[in-house]
Amino acid sequence: MSYLVRRGRIATVLALVTFVAVACGGDDPGQAVVGTAAALPRAQLVGVDGFVDFLDTTPSAVLVNVHIPYEGHIDGTDAFVPFDEIGTWEGLPADRDAPIALYCRSGSMSAQATATLVDLGYTNLVDLDGGMNAWTAAGNTLQTNG
């Protein structure tokens, strides 16, 4: 299959996903959408500044590092849960509206963890766009166990 044919098919799929995400978005202005093809309701993909603002204005938020293997963490992290085990984590808040902030190294594992939590009915999720890579690129430091 030629590159142009594959590119055209990918563009068609992305257009369809975007259409469905917009069409199914509902009229709730409080509903945010993660900037991924999965278009998850009630989850926000935010940059470093938005992540810091969320943590500063929502002190009750649970801050979770879902990256495996361990490669450092943001100061104040409450829990270390492998992204693929977040759905069975015993520390999940019983209140599905409780604020949870997730991050990993690059953003891919936290996107998967966010999707799992949305599927479980959690409604107040923030995912750090670019993960710890973006965090350090913005001039912030990571903590280590060593």
Q: What is the pLDDT of residues 70-117, one digit of tens each?
A: 999 999 999 999 999 999 999 999 999 999 999 999 999 999 999 999
Counting the structural domains of the chain, the total is 2
- Average the pLDDT over 27-47 and give the result: 55
pLDDT of residue 31: 37
- Average the pLDDT over 30-59 and give the result: 73
pLDDT of residue 42: 80
pLDDT of residue 145: 75
Q: Same structural domain for residues 23 and 82? A: no
Closest CA to 125 of 64, 77, 72, 57: 64
- The reply to whether 109 falls in a domain is yes
Listed ranges 3-17, 37-51, 103-117; the one with the highest mean pLDDT: 103-117
More confident residue, 78 or 1: 78
Q: Same structural domain for residues 38 and 69? A: yes
- The reply to whether 146 falls in a domain is no
Q: Same structural domain for residues 80 and 40? A: yes
43-46 and 100-103 as β-strands: parallel, antiparallel, unpaired?
unpaired
Average pLDDT, whole number, for the chain? 80
Q: Same structural domain for residues 37 and 23? A: no
For residue 4, name the pLDDT band (cuts at 50, 70, 90). Answer: very low
For residue 35, name the pLDDT band (cuts at 50, 70, 90). Answer: very low
Q: Hey, which bits of the chain come out as E strands?
A: 43-46, 62-65, 79-80, 100-103, 125-128
27 secondary structure, DSSP code: S
Q: Same structural domain for residues 16 and 50? A: no
Q: Same structural domain for residues 15 and 41? A: no
Domain range for 2 is 1-27
- The reply to whether 145 falls in a domain is no
Q: Same structural domain for residues 51 and 94? A: yes
CATH number of 71's domain: 3.40.250.10
Residue 124 in this model has a pLDDT that exceeds 90: yes
Q: Same structural domain for residues 23 and 38? A: no
| Model pTM score | 0.72
State percent of the chain over pLDDT 90. Answer: 70
Q: Same structural domain for residues 23 and 84? A: no
Q: Same structural domain for residues 22 and 78? A: no
Q: Same structural domain for residues 2 and 21? A: yes
Q: Same structural domain for residues 100 and 73? A: yes
At position 34, the amino acid (one-letter code) is V
